[in-house]
Structures are given as structure tokens and as C-alpha cells.
């Protein structure tokens, strides 16, 4: 905003004959056309950019044309699926060209500048941390309960292939996300204030509890964990980790100097969660009650 005011002060004293419209292209094809008046603060003779409108315009371009990077991951057979590079708008470069258009007559089109966004996990890193198992835990559930089984599978898929880097804290709620009907979660039994009831996403606490025990088995640092208000049948007493979108979370920190890979899957009536890392990791495992 300050830069726009300064440029407006100096250029406002000059004769400005900039074109009214600006064409924006991507890969040579027209994306949109905009008018400089749409970004001008009204009721002034000075050419001053409305920064709120301009930033909103850039945000909309980002939503439309940016591509999120995809991490390398393991498929069901243990083979590596390669990563995919992402792209986002180079805002500084675009803004420089936009200022030229706005404050002068030198430019009437902009090729949308894009920046490469590398994924956090590439094939080389994944290959290095997928062999040495440092933690494991298995629980069982009634696979005939379709709603609860669906919720367990969705939550397990959400944490599967997630890599926790050294010093990073893993949050179950953040990684799994809000459990909603539109995301496929179904109504199933939950515990609320010591009583059984039904809610969307019932059953995912088995995933967070199984993960907690695998994490504890690997000797990682648990930073947040809460138990249910009553015993649950799938885990030894005191070994559970209840989660709720608007309530408790399960979180742990990777205190080791190597990344940790989470592998979670369902097999028949079993939920299996394993943790892997590099062969060079130095870790201190713990004995976990109920481990098989």
C-alpha cells in the first residue's frame, strides 16, 4: 500500500495514458481480462491501487491455477508412487508487472508467472525411511459394523504415508481433518461424558489409540493425549487416546534426527499401524501393553 501511494504521488503528476484493460494469459492462452478502474481507489485524481481488491484478485487466481504438490507414497504392494511437483503464482513477479500496467502505458498483457513448489517427501527420501520398523501396534474391530468400519478405514487412510520430520509435531485432528458426512464419515457409536451415543465419525478413536501405542512403542514424545471417560474394548485400560474435532486431540513430536513414516491399514478385522524410519536412526523403543 505504501509503495502504491508513493508511486501514485510521483506518477500522478505525469500524464498517464495506460490502457483500460489488461489481458492475463497462461501458456499463451487468455485467462481473463481486468480493468485498471476495478483496482483504483475512487474519488481521487491520483492513481492509487486498492490493495484489498488486488490481494483478493490474486487469491482467486491462486485458487484457480495453483497446483498442490503431491508427496511420494507407498501403494498397497509397497511400491513407491512418485511425487508430483506443484505450482503457485509468483506474486512478486506478477505484482511488478501489474504496477507497470497500472501506472504507465507500457504493458497491456501479462503471462501468469508460476513458481515450482517441491513436495516435502520425494521418492529418494521415502525409499530411505520405508524399511526399518521402529514401532507397531494392532487392534481388532467388528468388520460387520459397516458404519464404524468405514470411519476407521477413512481415518487410517488419512494418516497412512504421512511423514513426520525431525522436530515436527503430528496432530491427529489436523492431519485427519474434520469428520463430516460430505467426506464420507458415517454415524456410529461414540462415548460422550461417560455415556454411549451416536455421532458422525464414531470409531476413529480406535485409530488414534492404535497410533498412540505404535508411537509409544517407537519411543516418540507424546505431547497431547486424553483417555475416554470409560473403558473401551479394543485397547488395554489406560492405553486409549480419544479425539474430537472440537475437543481433545492426540499429538506427538518426532524427537529423533530422522523422519518417521506412518503406515496404517485395515486387514479384515484388524487395524495395523507401523512406524518406519532410516536405517541410521538411533531410537529407544518402549514395551507397550497389549502389543502383538
User: What percent of the chain stands above pLDDT 70?
Assistant: 90
Instruction: Give the global pTM.
Output: 0.84
Residue carrying C-alpha cell 458404519? 147
Kindly report the backbone phi and psi dihedral angles of residue 102, in degrees, each rounded to the nearest multiple of 5, phi listed first.
-70, -40
- Output 197 or 264, whichever has higher pLDDT: 264
135: exposed, middle or buried (C-beta count within 10 Å: 0-12, 13-18, 19+)? buried
HSE, side-chain direction, 13 A CA sphere, residue 16: 23
Cβ-contact 136, 216 below 8 angstroms: no
Cell (9 digits) for 198:
451416536
Cβ-contact 113, 148 below 8 angstroms: no
DSSP secondary structure code for residue 11 in this structure? H
- Output 196 or 29, whichever has higher pLDDT: 29
Q: Each residue of 75-122: pLDDT tens digit? A: 999 999 999 999 999 999 999 999 888 888 666 889 999 999 999 999
Cα–Cα distances (Å) from 166 to 48, 223, 258, in that order, read: 46, 15, 6
pLDDT at 140 (0 to 100): 96
Helix and strand totals (H; E) in the chain: 7, 16
Other beta carbons less than 10 A from residue 119's beta carbon:
18
pLDDT at 10 (0 to 100): 39
Amino acid at each position: 500500500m505504501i509503495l502504491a501511494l508513493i508511486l501514485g504521488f510521483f506518477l500522478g503528476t505525469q500524464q498517464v495514458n495506460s490502457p483500460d484493460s489488461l489481458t492475463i494469459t497462461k501458456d499463451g492462452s487468455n485467462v481473463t481480462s481486468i480493468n485498471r478502474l476495478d483496482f483504483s481507489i475512487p474519488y481521487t485524481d491520483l492513481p492509487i491501487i486498492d490493495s484489498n481488491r488486488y490481494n483478493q484478485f490474486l487469491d482467486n487466481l491462486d485458487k484457480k491455477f495453483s497446483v498442490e504438490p503431491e508427496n511420494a507414497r507407498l501403494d498397497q504392494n509397497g511400491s513407491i508412487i512418485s511425487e508430483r511437483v506443484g505450482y503457485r503464482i509468483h506474486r512478486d513477479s506478477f505484482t511488478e508487472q501489474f504496477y507497470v500496467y497500472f501506472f504507465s502505458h507500457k504493458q497491456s498483457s501479462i503471462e501468469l508467472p508460476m513458481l515450482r513448489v517441491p513436495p516435502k517427501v520425494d521418492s529418494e527420501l521415502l525409499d530411505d525411511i520405508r524399511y526399518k520398523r521402529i514401532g507397531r501396534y494392532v487392534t481388532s474391530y467388528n468388520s460387520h459394523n459397516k458404519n464404524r468400519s468405514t470411519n476407521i478405514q477413512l481415518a487410517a487412510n488419512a494418516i497412512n504415508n504421512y511423514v513426520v520430520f525431525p522436530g515436527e509435531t503430528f496432530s491427529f485432528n489436523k492431519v485427519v481433518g474434520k469428520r463430516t458426512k460430505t467426506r464420507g464419515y458415517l454415524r456410529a457409536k461414540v462415548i460422550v461424558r461417560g455415556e454411549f451415543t451416536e455421532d458422525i465419525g464414531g470409531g476413529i478413536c480406535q485409530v488414534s489409540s492404535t497410533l498412540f501405542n505404535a508411537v509409544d512403542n517407537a519411543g516418540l514424545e507424546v505431547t497431547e493425549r486424553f483417555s475416554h471417560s470409560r473403558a473401551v474394548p479394543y485397547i488395554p485400560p489406560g492405553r486409549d487416546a480419544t479425539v474430537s474435532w472440537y475437543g481433545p486431540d492426540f499429538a506427538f513430536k518426532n524427537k529423533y534426527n530422522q523422519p518417521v513414516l506412518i503406515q496404517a491399514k485395515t486387514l479384515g478385522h484388524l487395524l495395523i499401524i507401523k512406524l518406519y524410519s532410516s536405517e541410521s536412526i538411533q531410537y529407544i523403543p518402549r514395551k507397550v501393553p497389549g502389543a502383538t
